[in-house]
């Protein structure tokens, strides 16, 4: 009996010791779980919360009393990031209770007791008892800082991409500038009318005033625009050029103001416009009269407010751009005809510059020719010393309807054909008629400030006499007759080829469509 009692006492003591050790172990495990920095909670097979640590309480604001025995999904996981209800059947945490798989998510939110939410990364791991799923353990962490860093990184990458696009666009324009630099890179001239223009350039350049350059085609409007820019405080920023007449009407706004991705068919990426590229610098709008009416309205707003939106965009973009515009047309007359906005004209015409035609400054032809031939000598690899006296006499007698651009083309053609170091201008290169000499003498001392006005008057004279012959007589010494005779001579030289290399349009330095229009107006037919 005594032995039996002793054994029972020993068994009881051992049982108490085991229970005590188990309790200590459970308390230690609980302490470990409570000390984990990440939120941690457990759920049973029905999704009810059986345990939650201190971190989960701290992160969510929900107490253990709020959570134990209830479905945690309905407490802090009830809504998706876009605000839609998140049904428990769709929850990856609850999916663990059915498929027994580990689920990991990092693009969801948990909701705090105060109604706010925070982005979370969590892992749901099944608890197994044999082959039976008895619950799951969920570990989660607040990833607000990570998400903020990701947003900051994405913003930085977007800025880098925008800068990259801008640099690429500026590089494209720079390469275009290098390739399109003509042989006459300097502004040359001693004629009083031209000196007056250069003086005005010096006066207006240091200001931010808008400049409107008036002058016939080929008089050097772009060179004057560049001179204004390079003498201004913006010279270290880009000068961006836009030929308004060379852009199709449906793309002109995109070209000027840029567009957002998907703004129209073919807009596969966002694109900066010329205004953004010219920010801090100067935007040169050549052939401004060709802008569509709707674009004129938007341009007026940019001039007034220095802000705009891209095509297809809503974000207002602010810029600091100086505008230099140019036109060979009489904008004041176009305003009276309702073809150009008068308020835009006044905004552009703050400081007008009037470039004289070459026929009005013929004393500059020798200087210009010398500079052009020096560039041609390098370009063609030829020994070119100058022009013969008879050829120079022919040049001084010629009306130069195409101005300096025509002078460049004539000299280049003569340099290509010449086998001597002294250039001779033959009749084929520079055709002269009796009428040309008379017309030249009549216009030698005149200054043309509006080619449109001149054309209107002379075209009316031509229209009144539809039987005017192709080769004008000495009596018919109007400018339109000279122009008609010159165009016909060039057409005959090219066998009536209008466009393409060596065509009449290239020789006359005009667009083929412009030449066709003039031929129709002057009733020139083969």
- Assigned token pair, 429: 């290169």
- Coil, strand or helix at 482: helix
Return the minimum-mean-pLDDT range out of 143-157, 159-173, 245-259, 451-465. Answer: 451-465
Contact yes or no for 262/312 (Cβ under 8 A)? yes
Q: How confident is the model at residue 512 (pLDDT cuts 50, 70, 90)?
A: confident
pLDDT at 257 over 80: yes
- Assigned token pair, 360: 């009005």
How, if at all, do strands 322-327 and 211-214 pair? parallel
Report d(CA 504, CA 488) in Å as an integer. 9
Rg (CA), the chain: 41
Report pLDDT digits (tens) over 288-306: 999 998 899 999 999 999 8
Q: How confident is the model at residue 136 (pLDDT cuts 50, 70, 90)?
A: very high
- Assigned token pair, 509: 């330095």
Q: What is the mean pLDDT of the chain?
A: 81
Beta-carbon contacts of residue 57 (< 8 Å; ≥ 6 apart) = 63, 64
In this predicted structure, what is the pLDDT of residue 526? Answer: 78
In this predicted structure, what is the pLDDT of residue 119? Answer: 93
In this predicted structure, what is the pLDDT of residue 154? Answer: 86
In this predicted structure, what is the pLDDT of residue 515? Answer: 84
State mean pLDDT over 356-360.
94
- Assigned token pair, 12: 């009881």
Q: How confident is the model at residue 478 (pLDDT cuts 50, 70, 90)?
A: low
pLDDT at 182 over 70: no
CA quadruple 108, 111, 112, 117: dihedral sign:
positive
Q: How confident is the model at residue 474 (pLDDT cuts 50, 70, 90)?
A: very low
- Assigned token pair, 405: 């651009």
Burial of 35 from C-beta contacts in 10 A (0-12 / 13-18 / 19+):
exposed
Nearest to 410 by CA among 362, 441, 373, 448: 373
pLDDT at 8 over 80: no
Q: How far apart are the first and last CA of the chain?
A: 143
CATH of region 182-354, choose from 2.40.160.40, 3.30.230.10, 3.40.50.300, 1.10.274.50? 3.40.50.300
Q: How confident is the model at residue 511 (pLDDT cuts 50, 70, 90)?
A: confident
pLDDT at 467 over 90: no
pLDDT at 56 over 60: yes
pLDDT at 382 over 70: yes
In this predicted structure, what is the pLDDT of residue 258? Answer: 86
In this predicted structure, what is the pLDDT of residue 466? Answer: 36
Report pLDDT digits (tens) over 20-32: 665 666 666 667 7
In this predicted structure, what is the pLDDT of residue 135? Answer: 93
- Please tell me the CATH code under which domain 36-142 is placed: 3.30.450.20
In this predicted structure, what is the pLDDT of residue 461? Answer: 37
CATH of region 358-427, choose from 1.10.8.60, 3.30.360.10, 3.40.190.10, 1.20.120.10? 1.10.8.60
Report d(CA 288, CA 242) in Å as an integer. 9
- Coil, strand or helix at 137: strand
pLDDT at 183 over 70: no
Strand order across the 117-129 sheet: 49-52, 39-44, 132-142, 117-129, 103-111
């Amino acid at each position: 009996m005594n032995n039996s009692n002793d054994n029972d006492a020993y068994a009881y003591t051992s049982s108490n010791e085991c229970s005590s050790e188990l309790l200590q172990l459970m308390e230690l495990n609980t302490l470990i779980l409570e000390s984990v920095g990440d939120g941690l909670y457990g759920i049973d097979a029905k999704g009810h919360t059986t345990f939650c640590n201190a971190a989960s309480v701290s992160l969510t604001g929900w107490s253990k009393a709020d959570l134990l025995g209830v479905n945690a999904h309905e407490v802090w996981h009830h809504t998706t990031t876009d605000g839609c209800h998140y049904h428990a059947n769709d929850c990856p945490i609850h999916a663990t209770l059915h498929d027994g798989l580990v689920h990991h998510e990092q693009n969801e939110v948990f909701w705090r007791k105060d109604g706010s939410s925070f982005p979370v990364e969590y892992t749901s791991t099944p608890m197994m008892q044999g082959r039976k799923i008895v619950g799951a353990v969920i570990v989660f962490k607040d990833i607000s800082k990570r998400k903020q860093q990701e947003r900051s990184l994405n913003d930085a990458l977007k800025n880098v991409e925008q800068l990259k696009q801008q640099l690429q666009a500026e590089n494209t324009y720079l390469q275009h500038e290098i390739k399109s630099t003509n042989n006459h890179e300097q502004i040359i001239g001693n004629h009083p009318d031209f000196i007056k223009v250069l003086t005005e350039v010096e006066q207006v350049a240091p200001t931010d005033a808008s400049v409107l350059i008036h002058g016939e085609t080929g008089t050097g409007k772009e060179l004057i625009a560049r001179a204004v820019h390079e003498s201004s405080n913006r010279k270290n920023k880009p000068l961006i050029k836009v030929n308004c007449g060379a852009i199709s009407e449906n793309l002109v706004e995109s070209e000027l103001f840029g567009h957002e991705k998907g703004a129209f068919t073919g807009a596969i990426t966002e694109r900066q416009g010329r205004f953004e590229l010219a920010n801090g610098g100067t935007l040169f709008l050549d052939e401004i009269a060709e802008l569509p009416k709707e674009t004129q309205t938007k341009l007026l707003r940019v001039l007034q407010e220095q802000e705009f939106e891209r095509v297809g965009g809503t974000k207002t973009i602010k810029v600091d751009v100086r505008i230099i515009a140019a036109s060979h047309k009489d904008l004041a007359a176009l305003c009276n005809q309702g073809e150009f906005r008068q308020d835009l004209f006044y905004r552009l015409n703050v400081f007008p510059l009037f470039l004289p035609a070459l026929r009005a400054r013929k004393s500059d032809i020798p200087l210009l020719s010398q500079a052009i031939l020096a560039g041609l000598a390098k370009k063609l690899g030829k020994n070119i010393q100058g022009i013969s006296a008879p050829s120079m006499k022919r040049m001084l007698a010629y009306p130069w309807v195409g101005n300096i651009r025509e002078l460049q083309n004539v000299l280049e053609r003569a340099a290509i054909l010449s086998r001597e170091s002294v250039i001779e201008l033959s009749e084929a290169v520079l055709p002269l008629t009796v009428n040309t000499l008379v017309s030249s003498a009549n216009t030698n001392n005149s200054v043309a400030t509006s080619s449109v006005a001149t054309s209107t008057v002379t075209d009316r004279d031509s229209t009144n006499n539809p039987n005017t012959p192709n080769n004008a007589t000495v009596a018919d010494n109007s400018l339109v007759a000279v122009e008609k005779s010159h165009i016909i001579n060039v057409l005959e030289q090219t066998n009536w080829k209008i466009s393409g290399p060596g065509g009449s349009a290239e020789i006359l330095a005009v667009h083929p469509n412009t030449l066709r229009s003039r031929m129709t107006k002057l009733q020139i037919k083969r």
